Amino acid sequence: MSDVGFTAYSSFNPSRYELRFGTFRVAVDFGAGFGKDTEIAMLQPQPDAIVITHGHRDHIGMVPQAMQRWPRVPVYATFETTELGKWIWGDELKIARQEHRDLPFSESDIDRAVRRIRRLLVGPSIQLTPDLTMTPFHAGHILGAVGLVFTYRGENFVVTGDISMHSHGFIEGAKLPDLQSCRALVRESTYVGQRLTQDRDVIAIEFILAVKDVLERGGTVVVPTLSIDRMPEVYALLHESEIDLQWPVWVVGGRVPTQIYLDFAQSAHVIRTMQHFENRQHQEDTLKSHAPMVVLASSGMMMPCTPSYAWGASVLQDANSAIFFVNWQDPRQPGGIILHGSPGDELELPDGRYKRLCEVERFDFSSHAKENEMEEIERALNPCQIIHVHGEEDRIRGFIEGNKGIGPERHQAFDGQEIAL
């Protein structure tokens, strides 16, 4: 049995992994998925430490349950990640109550979780055992996101987490650790094999032109956005293009993460000009007006019972309007169903059938690394082995088969199966 091993307990979405150094187990991320995912996650064995790479739901969503189950296990996260997690957990409770589901945890569980989390700082190492240190580095994905270097008996093991080498919005690109080599690299594979084909500035220009086109023909543009990262970035683009001087630009949801960005992100002061609806009646009246406007609505995948679902459904059958997606869409969720449909299709959505008449387009503002960037990361870190996680199974398998015999040994992570490192 190898002295070091890697096990995925959810290899795609959500993220839950484990690195074993001798007998010491480090859980990396404890994300939430859908359905009965809570029960599945609890099959994971008790770790000796939990470290959270960043504040997206699919990486941090189940931390309160993990803390309930393992009250003595230390949990590490950056301050920004903890603040975002606190908001995500509170939102999870609100949605569970709206859907009349059993509450996954309580407000007091959230308070205890926030108090118990040990703060990570980019740069300083944490001694986990006499033989093992953990060093966070800036990952460039969202506010507070980190990658991790584990140094065990003189050898380095790197986990990228979700990572971006390019700056975007208010977030600077990743700052890789200065290593000669590493024994193993656990790399995200959201866009495995997909190369960057368009500069982000070009995408931004195309987005602004498309928005103006819809507004000038009298339509409404609904932009489902992740409140945690994409909402501030897209709003800043619209503001800098002076669209908000000619047409209303409304923001629905995301007040707390917006404030977190104002508190911690450099140059985020522009988002102080965001316009929120005064109350629910104001929003409903505006929704019914069918006036030309832009609406940035929370829930990037248009999940049921969210602002983006309500607004998206309201324009779906209006040929003058548009839904512009700005992040990856799970094909099983409402946003993915709409995006992958064709004009005129009858779409089955959670609250009924809709004909897709509005314009639908996706603008790739992703904060995940494309393969060009991952190649740069691999060259810089010079790994002996690479483990692919957090990507679609078929794409990863095809990529590994296409690179067989080229460069480092590559592995595809399968849930519950340890890979010797």
Residue 406 confidence (pLDDT) above 70: yes
DSSP string across 188-249: E-TBTTPPP-S-HHHHHHHHHHHHHHHHHTT-EEEEEE-TTTHHHHHHHHHHHTTGGGTS-E
> What is 200-362's CATH topology?
Rossmann fold (3.40.50)
Query: What is the rounded average pLDDT for all residues in the chain?
Result: 91
pTM for the full predicted model = 0.89
pLDDT, mean of residues 125-139:
98
> For the chain, which residues make up each domain, given as ranges?
4-195+367-420, 200-362
Q: Scanning the structure block, which residue is given the tokens 């108090």? A: 115
Q: Scanning the structure block, which residue is given the tokens 């220009």? A: 205
> What is 4-195+367-420's CATH topology?
Metallo-beta-lactamase; Chain A (3.60.15)
Q: CA torsion sign, 241 to 243 to 245 to 250?
A: negative
**Residue range 220-248, pLDDT digits in tens:** 999 999 888 889 889 989 999 999 999 99
**How much of the chain exceeds pLDDT 90, in percent?**
71
Angle at the Cα of 64 from the Cα atoms of 332 and 107, rounded to 5 degrees? 105
**Residue 364: CA count within 13 A, CB half-sphere:** 13
**Residue range 277-316, pLDDT digits in tens:** 888 899 888 888 878 999 999 988 898 888 999 999 999 9
Q: 314: closest CA among 338, 278, 333?
A: 338
Q: 256: closest CA among 27, 89, 37?
A: 89
Phi and psi at 371, nearest 5°, equal -60, -35
What H or E segment, with its residue span, contains residue 380? helix 371-381
Structure tokens at 22: 């001798």
**How much of the chain exceeds pLDDT 70, in percent?**
97
Neighbours of 358 (CB within 10 A): 24
Burial of 85 (0-12, 13-18, 19+ CB in 10 A): buried
DSSP structure class, residue 49: E
Residue 3 confidence (pLDDT) above 80: yes
pLDDT, mean of residues 199-203:
86
Q: 30: closest CA among 45, 48, 10, 12?
A: 10
Structure tokens at 336: 């993915």
